[in-house]
Amino acid sequence: MIVYILKRLASIALTFTVVSVIVFLMMHAVPGGPFDGNDMPVSDEVKAKLNASLGLDRPLYVQYFKYMWGVLHFDFGVPFQSPGETVLELLGRAWPPSLILGGAGVLIGAPLGILLGMAAALRRNTWVDYLASAFATLGLTIPVFVTSMLLILVFAVWLDWLPASGWGKPYSWVLPIVAYATIPLATYARYTRSAMLDVLNKPFVTVLRAKGLSERRIIFQHVLRNAALPMVTVFLPMFIGTATGSIFVEAMFRVPGLGAYFVSSINLRDYALEMALILMITMMFCVSYLISDILYALLNPRIRTGGRRG
């Protein structure tokens, strides 16, 4: 197990390095530097001096190592769009709304999705199943900004029950959270349904039925526990996914969260912030995959003793 974790950590380090190099190179592949604009033309000597003072005249690999050295010390530089603070401070300010939005969305959507998926699997090929499947497919295929748009149109514009945007009063949180909750809801409904059906078709369920166990005990004690296994693995990455999935919800409802800053950093070419966000989310994805794999191994005796995983 420890060897496995160490191996995985090494692979994460490799992935992280490759991603950071690629992103760094991509951002430096764009022609032109920060002082090449025509708004405030500077002479070549001044430009050279400015570039030198920021280390921009050094070879690319030196710049990369300097940047990564900072990253390892949680120094992501200064965001272009608000130079008064560091990237980290800005993220600290923007994170809470995203966390509330994403967290509440997952906490509401995931249990509902699991229930829906269970209902669909247990009432297979009835209207419950079709309705649940239709709902899950809709939620998975329709982009979340479309869902948001429809919610805004119906509940804010036509019915005028809830505000269309903003993040002030808790009741203005309702629509964005509902819009976001559709993603985990659909994902979990679909996932639970197929996981449950997989287990329900296993021979041991037939054996349990033949033994005369009540359907309720079969479902809750045996099927659910076996079906829960693959679901554990999606939960953490899904939770991290809130950080990116909520971008459009935040943009639609004008929530001042991470997503909103990411969008503005794209529009303003705020590379420091963009790079920091991509690196952090990549890192979180790596770690969450590792944790869920470990959890999976801990929960699943077949893997615990098996050792190698492909």
Partner 1 sequence: MKTRSPAYFAWRRFAANKGALVAGAVLLVLILMAVFAPLITKTGYEAQDFLVQSYAFPSTEFWFGVDDLGRDFFSRIVYGARVSLTIGFTAAAFSVLIGIPLGALAGYYEGWVDWAVMRLIELFSVVPPLLAAMLLGALTNGGFFTIVLIAALFGWVQVCLLVRGQVKAFKEKEFVRAAQALGASPAYIIRRHLIPNAISPIIVGFVLAIPLAMMLEASLSFLGIGVPPPVPSWGQMINTGMNFMYFYWHLAVFPTAALAITVLATTLFGDGLRDALDPSLKGR
**Interaction site with partner 1 (CB under 8 A):** 11, 14-15, 18-19, 23, 26-27, 29-30, 137-138, 140-143, 145-146, 149-150, 152-153, 157, 164, 193-194, 197, 241, 243-244, 247-248, 251-252, 262-263, 266-267, 269, 274, 277-278, 281-282, 285-286, 289
Q: Please, are residues 212 and 194 in contact by the beta-carbon 8 Å criterion?
A: no
- What CA–CA distance (Å, rounded) separates 55 from 52? 5
Please report how close the Cβ of residue 9 comes to partner 1 at its closest, in angstroms: 14
Please report how close the Cβ of residue 44 comes to partner 1 at its closest, in angstroms: 26
Nearer to partner 1, 165 or 221 (CB): 165
Nearer to partner 1, 48 or 264 (CB): 264
Nearer to partner 1, 177 or 252 (CB): 252
Across 165-174, b (16+ Cβ under 10 Å) vs e yields eebeeeebbb
- What CA–CA distance (Å, rounded) separates 226 from 229? 6
Please report how close the Cβ of residue 48 comes to partner 1 at its closest, in angstroms: 25
Please report how close the Cβ of residue 146 comes to partner 1 at its closest, in angstroms: 5
Nearer to partner 1, 27 or 213 (CB): 27
Q: Please, are residues 273 and 77 in contact by the beta-carbon 8 Å criterion?
A: no
- What CA–CA distance (Å, rounded) separates 276 from 71? 8
C-alpha distances in Å from residue 115, one per residue of 119, 133, 228, 234, 235: 6, 13, 12, 16, 15
Please report how close the Cβ of residue 84 comes to partner 1 at its closest, in angstroms: 24
Q: Please, are residues 67 and 55 in contact by the beta-carbon 8 Å criterion?
A: no
Nearer to partner 1, 46 or 266 (CB): 266
